[in-house]
């Protein structure tokens, strides 16, 4: 056999240090838990500090590795503290999942009714926060000559879903950030990719979604069921692993076939 692609281990994330922003609630909670189960050492960075610590404690109780760092991703000092805590605890940073965003708390309404301060806050969390977290982890990844950044956008980018214009616009910006940043950090051995999840019934989403809104969404999908957080985990692990080693600047749509491109 010739040396080359390690088919047995290419999809493993065992031992890798991965930061999950928004990792204590909603879809992020599932990312954190599943990555720990896969052997990753997880840093849960969530503005909801108590929830983040509860997830980290549950992971540690299972004999796995995780810490919680309360983090407001829109604050540059807090984003830097997140990266510093990861390096202090685990000695390196291999992956960053930019999952934190404002969405479920936003009312669905005409773009004409969006308050300017709400628009600015969505952009501060969903775009500036992602930029700040990427910048915070970059020095560690550059020193290592290795890193995997996975940015979470939304399938609303493909469909132009109305009534949360600020959210949709911010998620379109995530794809532009992904493409441009991948060209800036590639020489350092850092891959930057993006996922566009479909409407996903996480704990937080279920609490904020009316039955009328969710009814019938499956009719537009190839797979006729609700999308759940676990449907995204495989793509996340793939993009953090060596199996995706020559992929960067790309967007992976995971929505059960509702949008195709």
Tally of domains in the chain: 1
Q: Alpha-carbon distance 174 to 165, whole Å?
A: 14
> What tokens appear for 214 in the block?
């969710």
Query: Could you tell me the CATH number of the domain that includes residue 70?
Result: 3.40.50.720
In a domain, 166, yes or no: yes
In a domain, 151, yes or no: yes
In a domain, 150, yes or no: yes
In a domain, 259, yes or no: no
Q: Please state the rounded mean pLDDT for residues 38-42.
A: 98
In a domain, 12, yes or no: no
3-state secondary structure of 149: strand
CB contact at 8 A, 189 and 148: no
17 — pLDDT class (breaks 50, 70, 90)? very high
Q: Please state the rounded mean pLDDT for residues 71-86.
A: 98
3-state secondary structure of 98: strand
In a domain, 38, yes or no: yes
Condensed to tens digits (0 to 9), the pLDDT of residues 210-256 reads: 555 555 566 789 999 999 999 999 999 999 999 999 999 999 999 99
CB contact at 8 A, 195 and 235: yes
Phi, psi of 250 (to 5 degrees): -105, 160
Q: What is the per-residue pLDDT for 218?
A: 64
261 — pLDDT class (breaks 50, 70, 90)? confident
Q: What is the per-residue pLDDT for 4?
A: 82
Which carries the bigger pLDDT value, residue 99 or residue 3? 99
Full residue range of the structural domain in which residue 143 is found = 21-209+218-254
> Is the C-alpha dihedral spanning 141, 142, 146, 151 positive or negative?
positive
In a domain, 3, yes or no: no
**What is the set of active-site residues?**
167
In a domain, 4, yes or no: no
Beta-strand pair 251-254/190-197: parallel
DSSP string, 99-131: -----TTS----GGG--HHHHHHHHIIIIIHHH
């Amino acid at each position: 056999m010739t040396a080359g692609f390690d088919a047995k281990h290419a999809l493993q994330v065992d031992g890798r240090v991965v930061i999950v922003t928004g990792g204590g609630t909603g879809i992020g909670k599932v990312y954190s838990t599943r990555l720990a189960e896969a052997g990753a050492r997880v840093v849960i960075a969530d503005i909801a500090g108590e929830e983040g610590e509860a997830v980290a404690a549950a992971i540690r109780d299972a004999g796995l590795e995780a810490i919680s760092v309360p983090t407001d991703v829109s604050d540059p000092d807090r984003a830097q503290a997140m990266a510093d805590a990861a390096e202090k605890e685990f000695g390196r940073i291999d992956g960053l999942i930019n999952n934190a965003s404002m969405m479920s708390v936003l009312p669905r309404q005409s773009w004409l009714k969006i308050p300017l301060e709400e628009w600015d806050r969505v952009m501060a969390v969903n775009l500036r926060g992602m930029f700040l977290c990427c910048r915070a982890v970059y020095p560690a990844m550059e020193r290592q000559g290795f890193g995997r950044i996975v940015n979470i956008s939304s399938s609303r980018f493909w469909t132009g879903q109305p009534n949360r214009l600020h959210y949709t616009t911010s998620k379109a910006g995530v794809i532009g950030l992904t493409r441009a940043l991948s060209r800036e950090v590639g020489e350092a051995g850092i891959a930057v990719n993006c996922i566009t999840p479909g409407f996903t019934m996480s704990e937080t989403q279920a609490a904020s979604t009316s039955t009328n809104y969710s009814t019938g969404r499956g009719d537009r999908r190839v797979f006729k069921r609700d999308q759940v957080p676990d449907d995204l985990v495989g793509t996340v692990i793939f993009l953090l692993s060596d199996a995706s080693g020559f992929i960067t600047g790309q967007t992976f749509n995971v929505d059960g076939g509702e949008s195709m491109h």
